[in-house]
Amino acid sequence: MFNPIIGFIFKLCGWKVVGHVDPNMPKAMWVLAPHWSNWDVFLGIGVRPIVRLRIGFLAKSELFHWYSSWLIRAVGGYPVDRKNASNLVDAVANMFKKSESMHISITPEGTRSDVSTIKSGFYYMALKANVPILLCGFEYPTKSLIFSDPIYPTGNYAQDMKPMYDFFLTIKGPKKKWLLDYERTGIVPESRK
């Protein structure tokens, strides 16, 4: 299931994991930030043998052709129909409910560019599926992937997301506008799916 060579390369490049992830946790929504680099994908794949979990990602269904589907699925891709974005939260929540074990990663910023708000669909996916949210900070200055304790969504978005915003404030390196605005005001903005 896990390729030890990938984990070895991850460590050989000087990267390390900070924090504990329970390898027996059957399901979780992983929130990764800040998303500044294309290297984030490789770091995510490289850390899987270290934490001993198969963490997948969402990919638009248009990428799943007869010639590419096998590769995208092999590295952990799950197809989603982005044409019907209003149903994406329900579709992913149903995927979680139908699976005995599933871990999905998502970058709520949605882009490597600077953004002033994040998308909150991940929160509602986790809430509807009744799975915890795990945070992973890409700390490039120290070559660390930093993991949080699980957050269990209650339905109170602002209250549940405060620990997420506080966590990402501790990650060393440049901060995007959404996080700088929170640092300045202490206010978690209303959800944006």
In a domain, 148, yes or no: no
- Under the banding of pLDDT at 50, 70 and 90, the label for residue 21 is confident
- Under the banding of pLDDT at 50, 70 and 90, the label for residue 86 is low
pLDDT of residue 124: 94
| Residue 37, pLDDT above cutoff 90 | no
pLDDT, greater one: 111 or 1: 111
In a domain, 50, yes or no: yes
Q: Determine if residue 5 is left, alpha or beta; phi over 0 gives left, psi from -120 to 50 gives alpha, anything else beta.
A: alpha
In a domain, 97, yes or no: yes
In a domain, 91, yes or no: yes
Q: Give the number of domains in the chain.
A: 1
Question: Under a CB-based contact definition with an 8 Å cutoff, are residues 43 and 137 in contact?
Answer: no
In a domain, 78, yes or no: yes
In a domain, 104, yes or no: yes
| Residue 189, pLDDT above cutoff 80 | yes
Distance (Å, whole) CA 124 – CA 128: 6
Q: Where are the alpha helices (DSSP H) in the chain?
A: 4-12, 39-51, 69-74, 88-98, 121-129, 157-169, 177-185
Closest CA to 27 of 106, 95, 80, 78: 95
DSSP single-letter state for residue 34: -
Average pLDDT over residues 24-42: 84
pTM score of the predicted model: 0.85
In a domain, 181, yes or no: no
Preceding amide of 132 cis, omega within 30: no
For 134, the enclosing helix (H) or strand (E) is strand 133-139
Q: How many CA atoms lie within 13 A of 79 on its CB side?
A: 13
| Residue 10, pLDDT above cutoff 80 | no
**Residue numbers of the domain that contains 109:** 13-19+40-141+160-170
pLDDT, greater one: 136 or 6: 136
In a domain, 24, yes or no: no
